[in-house]
Amino acid sequence: MPHVLVLVDHDGERVHKSTHELMAAARRLGDPAAVVVGTPGTAARLAESLARYGATTVHAAESTDAAEYLATPAVDALQLAVREVSPAAVLVSATADGNEVAGRLAARLDAGLLIDAVDLDSSGVATQIVFGGSYTVRSQVTRGVPVITVRPGAFEPEEHPGQAVRRTLALPAADPAASARVTARRSAPAGDRPGLTEASVVVSGGRGVGGADGFKVVEELADALGGAVGASRAAVDAGYYPHQFQVGQTGKSVSPQLYVALGISGAIQHLAGMQTSKTIVAVNKDPEAPILGLADYAVVGDLFAVAPQLTQEVTAR
Ligand code: FAD
């Protein structure tokens, strides 16, 4: 079986769920081979989790300053791994960082690039949703090693325990003149909620929530379900909720098991970021709202009456 390289998303201690999903996608094309970029010791800490989800090889690309540079160490590591194993494809999560790494890698390899795949078949044909969700296309790379970014949530993680061989990739020293260096980190307080693209449940609020205070209702339902909070662009633009939680064409793409839309009309740009969710529940007081046509469970009603009842019901179980 050919190898399929998977760039590992991690926080130094823990492999993110998006990587386990990439492993499941990779298995459609060959044997998943994980590429870990981090400070020394990271690959050893993550190896067990990677092997449990089917990595047959763990390539460790480690250096003391790996976390200080944006994109370049990951691109260097993947390029080295491509040279070493001639993989059937390289898979990366379709996040802002992942798309940047993939784009740079494809340019270096002079290879084809597919962004934000929501499905992948065994012949390497990827399904993408394009033009703000208006069309679904199936595409295949015909030049070089396919570099494909996969939408978080599009694949189910599957345990596939085995032994992973450990390999070392010698990262070249970073060239400060040619790399963007991180000088300070600022992260929004996420509390105990899962990350938006990682969560299996997302509860989003729109303009119908009516204000920043109204988002309390959204947060309470998200917390009862153990989910993340999202927001429409109208809610973000109005200052109800911070931008990093925006779902949609110009926000994040999510594909959770359950997506609950509260007071969101269902503009095409919002649907572009959530329509591949497995089950969609929408609460809207306008029976003509487009989102109700897409929803698996459509509730016509006032979100301030419906959402607290849902929260109460879920909490009671
Ligand atoms: P509205 O369309 O105003 O809908 C509010 C809904 O709430 C209505 O359906 C109303 O019936 C309902 N409502 C009101 N009160 C209640 C209540 N008490 N209970 C229940 N329901 C209630 N949008 C995104 O979301 N994400 C994007 O990434 C994005 N990118 C864009 C990119 C471009 C280039 C453009 C042009 C637009 C983009 N938009 C995006 C904006 C998009 O077109 C819509 O304007 C936006 O999604 C509307 O947000 P909304 O549904 O919250 O607000």
3-state secondary structure the chain: CCEEEEECCECCCCECHHHHHHHHHHHCCCEEEEEEEECCCHHHHHHHHHHHCCCCEEEEEECCCHHHECCHHHHHHHHHHHHHHCCCEEEEECCHHHHHHHHHHHHHHCCCEEEEEEEECCCCCEEEEECCCCEEEEECCCCCCCEEEECCCCCCCCCCCCCCEEEECCCCCCCCCCCCECCCCCCCCCCCCCCCCCCCEEEEECHHHCCCCCHHHHHHHHHHHCCEEEECHHHHHCCCCCHHHEECCCCECCCCCEEEEECCCCCHHHHCCCCCCCEEEEEECCCCCHHHHHCCEEEECCHHHHHHHHHHHHHHC
Cβ neighbours, 10 Å, residue 213: 9
pLDDT at 187: 66
pLDDT at 70: 87
pLDDT at 127: 97
Ligand 1 mean position, distance from CA 295 (Å): 15
pLDDT above 90 for 134? no
Average pLDDT over every residue of 250-259: 93
Q: Which tokens go with 202?
A: 């997302």
pLDDT at 177: 78
Which of 250, 291, 292 maximizes ligand 1 atoms within 8 Å of its Cβ, making it the mutation to test the pocket? 250
pLDDT at 44: 97
Residue nearest to atom 38 of ligand 1 (CA): 269
pLDDT at 190: 58
Ligand 1 mean position, distance from CA 128 (Å): 23
Query: Complex ipTM, two decimals?
Result: 0.99
pLDDT at 189: 58
Under the banding of pLDDT at 50, 70 and 90, the label for residue 306 is very high
Q: What is the mean pLDDT of the chain?
A: 94
Is 306 within 8 Å of 234 (Cβ atoms)?
Answer: no
pLDDT at 223: 97
Is 125 within 8 Å of 138 (Cβ atoms)?
Answer: yes
Ligand 1 mean position, distance from CA 98 (Å): 27
Listed range (82-91, 112-121, 175-184) with the worst mean pLDDT: 175-184
Listed range (67-71, 250-254, 264-268) with the worst mean pLDDT: 67-71
Is 129 labelled as part of a ligand binding site?
no
Is 138 labelled as part of a ligand binding site?
no
To the nearest 10°, report the CA torsion of 294, 296, 297, 300. Answer: 10
Residues 6+ apart with CB under 8 A from 132: 249, 268, 269, 271, 272
Residues with CB under 6 A from ligand 1: 206-208, 232-235, 246-251, 263-265, 267, 269-270, 273, 283-286, 289, 302-304
pLDDT at 178: 75
pLDDT above 90 for 277? yes
Each residue of 177-219: pLDDT tens digit? 777 888 887 766 557 899 898 899 999 999 999 999 999 999 9
Q: Which tokens go with 249?
A: 């064409």
Listed range (69-78, 185-194, 276-285, 295-304) with the worst mean pLDDT: 185-194
Compute the distance between CA of residue 69 and CA of residue 158 in angstroms, rounded to an integer. Answer: 32
Compute the distance between CA of residue 119 and CA of residue 138 in angstroms, rounded to an integer. Answer: 9
Each residue of 23-57: pLDDT tens digit? 999 999 999 999 999 999 999 999 999 999 999 99
Each residue of 136-167: pLDDT tens digit? 999 999 999 999 999 988 999 999 999 999 99
pLDDT at 188: 60
Under the banding of pLDDT at 50, 70 and 90, the label for residue 68 is confident
